[in-house]
Chains A and B, each alone.
Chain A
């Protein structure tokens, strides 16, 4: 489904992503972990067209997508969230969701004037979906508030909701549950499971290891921009490199990156 071939990206002297290759094949949910600053977010930026790789290739459904602008990639059904949530602060919570629907006829100038009834129908359908998502994320009471007024965790949830509205085939999630209350986290887990039933695939960065272990049949581990492990979470817990770089057997040792 998603393939990255020998991708590189550096900032100044820092090799944020270094000779990185992977192939998601058709695994339902793939986890990505790694110490802070190991390049996970940068990798996401590379895949989704927000950064251009210094070198390397990215394929989605066997089509090359490296070098495509971000919105084209998103239109192909590869949608992401942002690690530091970026809600649209002055739009209402509902509008945040509605704006995320793909292929909206009403976003083109001419149909606005010539196909108003079609647009209304589409809006109604999208609104219904938005309401479902709001309910699920427990944001329904805030639907008409500007999103900038949400708490940190609520913004995080809204961003997740936005991704769901976009009808994606593959979702890239960057720490979707950071700052989210544990009981809601449970629900998100259920949701992800449900969606996989419908054929949606996930590729997610997450520092909550129990959750990763539970959710992801396959786990990739990055360190210093490189892929150091690819396998099941169980194996990862035993892999000395992973333990040393990421999990830590002796907590308390101060570590930088």
Chain B
């Protein structure tokens, strides 16, 4: 039972990594850089709710949440317009540094407006649902469900809609996509909109489960990104599987060694997986051309 519960905790933790990975895998798949500002979009989503709940809006939660998501998307769009689009044809590392700059800007803006104190949503506590000796909390369930729903949605979007196929074409060959007359603006905006939306949702759920501080988004980012890579860039189900892998490994490790080494385990799993599968879990070997 103990191990089963650990496994379950791991799966759900992994689902959360996957939830954060959804947005990352989109921007990474298409623009080939790690968006360091994703963590801040997560935090902005979470703080957005507080913003709209508080003065001068004083809105109830049901309104605050969609508005917060809209705010996050607006930030994503602005970032695309002002930073990412102008650099689209540059090297990945340039975009990476720009996103580090953006993350500084956004994180400190949060601190500027909200201070660095710990905040919370003040939603009541719940006891977990019990299934025999196994417990899961509602937040956990919702998080896992969200991860699945959003990953699924993204998968459908990418494979079934024309716009989604356009996205993948851009990911495949940016230059050619431009020549072929794809609406690059629209595509790039859609990507940032969706990535910010996913980040916002993740942030709100995370804040619900724990609390809010300006650094809240950055903590899980590396592991989420590792999940992206393990799954293969832009591979939606891969991101989920990658996330699960990391989550399960670190949570199971708690049973055997000092949890001070929990992250150590997570990272060594990442490294080991990569050593055995140097191009991620699903990548096909690319030949010389």
Contact = CB atoms under 8 A, between A and B. Distances in A.
The finding on whether chains A and B are genuine partners in a shared complex, rather than unrelated, reads yes
A84 B289 contact: yes
Nearest to B289: A84
Contacts of A241: none
B272 interface: no
A82 B287 CA distance: 13
Nearest to B285: A11
Interface string A121-155: 00000000000000000000000000000000000
Nearest to A45: B288
Contacts of B289: 82-84
A59 interface: no
A18 to B, nearest CB: 17
Which range contains the number of B residues in contact with the other chain? Answer: under 10
Contacts of B288: 45, 50-51, 82
A173 to B, nearest CB: 16
Interface in B239-289: 287-289
Interface in B102-118: none
Contacts of A82: 288-289
A45 B289 CA distance: 9
B287 to A, nearest CB: 7
A44 to B, nearest CB: 10
B262 to A, nearest CB: 40
A82 B289 CA distance: 8
A84 B289 CA distance: 7
Interface in A34-52: 45, 50-51
A15 B252 CA distance: 44
Contacts of A45: 287-288
A81 to B, nearest CB: 12
Contacts of A51: 287-288
A51 B287 CA distance: 8
B92 to A, nearest CB: 15
A101 B244 CA distance: 49
Contacts of A83: 289
A83 B287 CA distance: 13
A252 B287 CA distance: 32
A179 to B, nearest CB: 15
Nearest to B288: A50
A242 B289 CA distance: 26
A51 B288 CA distance: 8
Interface in A1-58: 11, 45, 50-51
A11 B288 CA distance: 13
A228 B288 CA distance: 25
A177 B288 CA distance: 20
Interface string B131-159: 00000000000000000000000000000
A45 B287 CA distance: 10
Nearest to A11: B287
Nearest to A42: B287
Nearest to A44: B288
**3 tightest A-B CB contacts, nearest first:** A50-B288, A84-B289, A45-B288
Interface of B: 287-289
10 contacts: A11-B287, A45-B287, A45-B288, A50-B288, A51-B287, A51-B288, A82-B288, A82-B289, A83-B289, A84-B289
Given A51-B288, A83-B289, A84-B289, 4 more contacts: A45-B287, A45-B288, A50-B288, A82-B288
